[in-house]
Chains A and B, each alone.
Chain A
């Protein structure tokens, strides 16, 4: 019997969550053939993930959503499949590496998957061995999943998907929590697996510039949930940031000499020295576990530090999850909490951070970008004009990145000093005046931004990729 070659077929499909007035997806029609590599792109909140969940049958059952139109999977109507029936043929890898596992070790997690499929116990051993072998993860078999890095967790999640011998692999923004270096390795690894398994791959992704030529087709979804384009995939150019003018002013706001951090006899950070000026933007970069967060927390006074000399203006710290900072129930109260700024100063801040429309809202209930602006506002209202942003670019789409760029640019123009911990070197190249590189708890040095991007070896030794835009920028300066 010949295998049906159309894997997914949607005909004029619309989808609405029961609590929403307007549909999340409307008039969606496409067909995906066996062996294709399809990217579904679009801005955050455009319903890309919803579309993916309609393909693996997580929706509509899990949200009581209302589906109109026809969805066919392997030539059969989607709603004719029993719960769980389709999932071993259509496997999924999700975005968050931290919440995809329920067992302690890699082996047990794979066994969990096989047990779900009622695989005979006698076959399990061989299938686990085989999938670990083919994915190159055999050495992790008895390792506790929680101790793995994000990139390795995503590989384990993929192995768990592949152990079911699926025909289709769905990817829901699989690299959005990975740093670019790890993401690139993950994509290369996935490329080889696709060839070995002859998989059909459908991926939801908003940072397609990292994927090179991986896909052969791209379906673009607009913010109101319609398909705007369905065409052959063209490699995406790196996001173009506007040029930023140097805004460094003379006064020094931070001097650290011989700064180090020791916790219970372990040296987390070896003595380092640096200075920062008013209006300067400094990117802190390095491999995972190199001491970036430790450095930031030490300067901000969260960790106990030792230093020969340390002097700094008050420091503000904005975490990767800005809502961790919130203490009150309106945006306005959040800014006024410290009580350091006058009413006039608060009003100016609210205006310059564009918080006027949401000042009565609950800070926990606004969008991620707005949360970050509120957190920055709260820091500035406390007169903490040396700002530290921890991984602000992680998981952001292009619009959010541009907004972040403008936000940082405007703070620098106002004379604030901004430190950014990031792996995103394109973003760093766009904003940074200087770059602090860390490795194994030691500072390699503080470099002038333009020079460090040329030194590919130096970057590679810190698990960083040279920003793609640099050559372009160098030309424009010539």
Chain B
């Protein structure tokens, strides 16, 4: 049960989540995204064993963003008419404004929870393999992405090494984030030079092992689509559809 979402075919999960998001974009009432958000959350509670601490951490910036939307829409939105329900520092908030503001911020939450549902339950390597096997992604692109993924930890180590080396040279630790951001180019340039060399070597190594970039016929670990993948996909979409209907009814 708790592995269902993790074991779901990644390409299928990706398509399902994308469809759900696109569908959600057509509903402007506040209830629909709120219901989607809650139902996705419940679904993750039941069908996944994700690290909720990590979820909270990733969700935090989105919650901030959602609150930002809420606030700015209430305070700065154009007069839309409707009944004044609330007066704050001489500023009138109408029911329509509130509805619009809530709709926008709940949307942020709904979209981010859908993205996290995908991100936190999907192994990147399996995702790429599945894209290649189910969606006919070119092996050149697929293995390119995988090589890049293998390089990430190496690049991270290099980044810190260069940073340490530069500190030793006496580059002051900058006070402001924008200065630091500006100085990152000094670290990036040697990293890029190294990355180009590594990329060439990897390409040679792959080619020397018979990689030509042609579509492959045999797979050691085929990523398959099983009936339960369809069931899960249907379940997610059904949740979105039900939320849409309920949301529309509630807000009419």
Contacts and interface: CB of A to CB of B under 8 A. Distances in A.
Nearest to A122: B218
A94 B208 CA distance: 9
Interface in B181-226: 186, 189-190, 193-194, 198-199, 201-212, 216-222
B164 to A, nearest CB: 5
A62 B193 CA distance: 19
A255 interface: no
Nearest to A328: B186
Contact of A119 (B186, B194, B218): B218
A62 B209 contact: no
A99 B212 CA distance: 18
A323 B162 CA distance: 9
B210 A104 contact: no
Interface string A265-300: 000000000000000000000000000000001001
B1 interface: no
Contact of A378 (B150, B169, B186): B169
Nearest to B205: A100
Interface centre among A88, A102, A124, A128 (most CB of B within 10 A): A102
A164 B150 contact: no
A325 B169 contact: yes
A88 B210 CA distance: 6
Contacts of B127: none
B164 A302 contact: yes
Interface string A308-325: 000000001101010111
A366 interface: no
A113 interface: yes
A104 B150 contact: yes
Contacts of B75: none
B28 interface: no
Contacts of A99: 151, 198-199, 201-202, 205
B150 to A, nearest CB: 6
Interface string A72-106: 00000000000110011001101010111111100
Interface string B132-151: 00000000000100110011
Contacts of B203: 62
Nearest to B123: A104
Contacts of A382: 169-170
A111 B29 CA distance: 50
Interface in A145-168: 145-146, 157, 160-161, 164
Contacts of B162: 324
Contacts of B222: 121
A103 to B, nearest CB: 7
Interface string A444-462: 0000000000000000000
Given A111-B221, A118-B216, A337-B169, A323 B190 contact: yes
Contacts of B171: 327
Nearest to B152: A146
B161 interface: yes
Contacts of A94: 201, 204-205, 208
Nearest to A105: B125
Contacts of B166: 325, 327
A116 interface: yes
Given A323-B190, A364-B190, A116 B150 contact: no
A324 B150 contact: no
A112 interface: yes
A87 B190 contact: no
Contacts of A300: 168
B201 A297 contact: no
B147 A102 contact: yes
A309 B144 CA distance: 51
Contacts of B209: 87, 91-92, 112-113, 116, 160-161, 164
B82 interface: no
Interface in A185-215: none
B193 A323 contact: yes
B167 interface: yes
A120 interface: yes
A102 B218 contact: no
Given A87-B210, A103-B125, A146 B193 contact: no
Contacts of B206: 102
B231 interface: no
Given A102-B143, A102-B146, A117 B210 contact: yes
A56 interface: yes
Given A84-B211, A103-B125, A327 B194 contact: no
Interface of A: 53, 56, 58, 62, 83-84, 87-88, 91-92, 94, 96, 98-104, 108, 111-121, 124-125, 128, 145-146, 157, 160-161, 164, 297, 300-302, 316-317, 319, 321, 323-327, 337-338, 364, 378, 382
Given A83-B212, A111-B221, 9 more contacts: A56-B208, A84-B210, A102-B146, A102-B206, A112-B143, A121-B222, A302-B164, A321-B190, A325-B168
Interface of B: 125, 143, 146-147, 150-151, 153-154, 158, 161-162, 164-171, 186, 189-190, 193-194, 198-199, 201-212, 216-222
Question: Lowest 5 A-B CB distances belong to which pairs?
Answer: A111-B220, A116-B210, A92-B208, A84-B212, A100-B205
20 contacts: A58-B207, A84-B211, A87-B208, A87-B210, A91-B208, A92-B205, A99-B151, A103-B150, A114-B220, A115-B220, A121-B220, A146-B154, A302-B168, A317-B168, A321-B194, A323-B190, A324-B158, A325-B166, A327-B171, A338-B169
